[in-house]
Amino acid sequence: MVYYCGVLAIVVVLMQLVIMFVLPDGKETSTATLTKESIALKLTDTPAPTIPPSQTYTRLSPTNSPKPTITRLPPTTFTPKPTYNPIELAEDFIDEHGVHMRLIPSGEFLMGNDNSWWDNEKPEHTVYLDAFYMDIYEVTNVRYAECVSAGVCQKPTRNNQYIISTYYGRAQYANYPVVYVNWAMAISYCEWRGGNLPTEAQWEKAARSADERIHPWGNSIDDNRLNFCDKNCPGEWADNTVDDGWKFTAPVGSYPSGVSPYGIFDMLGNVRNGCRIGTMIILCR
């Protein structure tokens, strides 16, 4: 057999060992012959390993452990989950500018009228709306002027109305509805108030409620419940058979018998109202 230790190679041949020293260039330097006895002497220099005494194992007898005691727990009682009721909103609300608003509750209503003269009111269809608040009265000249004074709104595009030379900014007409306000001006006012223009569906529900009535007060027209162009009005479309006492617009809230089921005034008559559809404003009446 052959053992390799660095550059020393020991080769056992029969009863003799020949030790050969090899230089880096591969030449042998010397050869020594060792006898069997000298080898035995060398081998005895290394102490023999000590064998530890065998271990003694003790057989253990199993012990009888007591059986565990099973404790029966009382049956689990399930507490029913609490029922979360919707937030109850106040029926009336005064905003930070002191404007009185009324709650229009959430729910479905029938929108449109299949018997209308106008095709854009057809067909009738069911619409669901979340709850919202709407001003009880139309926006007046004095309320709109507050937004103008705050530097947010622009003045109406015109200051007269028919034969009235000064309408906006005149104390006599402070509580009358503001007119000649375009879409951008209306949006600016509503945003200043912290709200928005009503959508067509919101306006119609506020006017008709959910009982499918045609007008705010019912299904038949009643000249005493609204302000419109009567015998005092110079318009060609005037109804000369009626006298409501006003030549043009009337102060907001002048017709308490014409309020909607939610208590909103002048949803029919006086001036036309603008509604929001996307980025457009339409006349709701």
- Amino acid (one-letter) located at 20: M
**Span between the terminal Cα atoms of the chain, in Å:** 117
- Alpha carbon 49 to its chain centroid, in Å, reads 83
Residue in 249, 252, 246 with CA at minimum distance from that of residue 138: 252
Phi, psi dihedrals of residue 200, rounded to the nearest 5°: -60, -40
Tokens coding 184: 């951008």
Greatest alpha-carbon pair distance for the chain in Å reads 154
* Cα–Cα distance for residue pair 141/174, rounded to 1 Å: 5
Residue 60 token pair: 């253990």
Q: Report the alpha-carbon distance of residue 254 to residue 127 in Å, rounded.
A: 31
> Could you tell me the sign of the dihedral formed by the alpha carbons of 261, 263, 264, 265, in that order?
positive
CATH number for the segment(s) 92-283:
3.90.1580.10
CB 156 within 8 Å of CB 166: no
What distance in Å separates the CA atoms of residue 234 and residue 281, rounded to the nearest whole number? 27
Phi, psi for 240 (deg, rounded to 5): -75, 0
Give CA 276 to chain center in angstroms: 21
Judge whether 227 and 270 are in contact, CB under 8 Å.
Answer: yes
H or E stretch including 44? helix 36-44
Query: In angstroms, rounded to a whole number, what is the distance separating the alpha carbons of residues 180 and 139?
Result: 12
Q: What is the pLDDT along the chain (285 residues), one digit of tens a residue?
A: 433 343 333 333 333 333 333 344 444 444 444 454 444 444 445 555 665 655 565 666 666 666 667 777 677 676 766 665 667 888 998 999 999 999 999 999 999 888 888 787 888 899 999 999 999 999 999 999 999 999 999 999 998 877 788 999 999 999 999 999 998 999 999 999 999 999 999 999 999 999 989 899 999 888 889 988 888 877 777 788 888 888 889 999 999 999 999 999 999 989 888 888 765 555 554
Could you tell me the residue ranges of all domains in the chain?
2-43, 92-283
How much of the chain is helix, strand and coil, in % rounded to 5?
Answer: 20, 20, 60
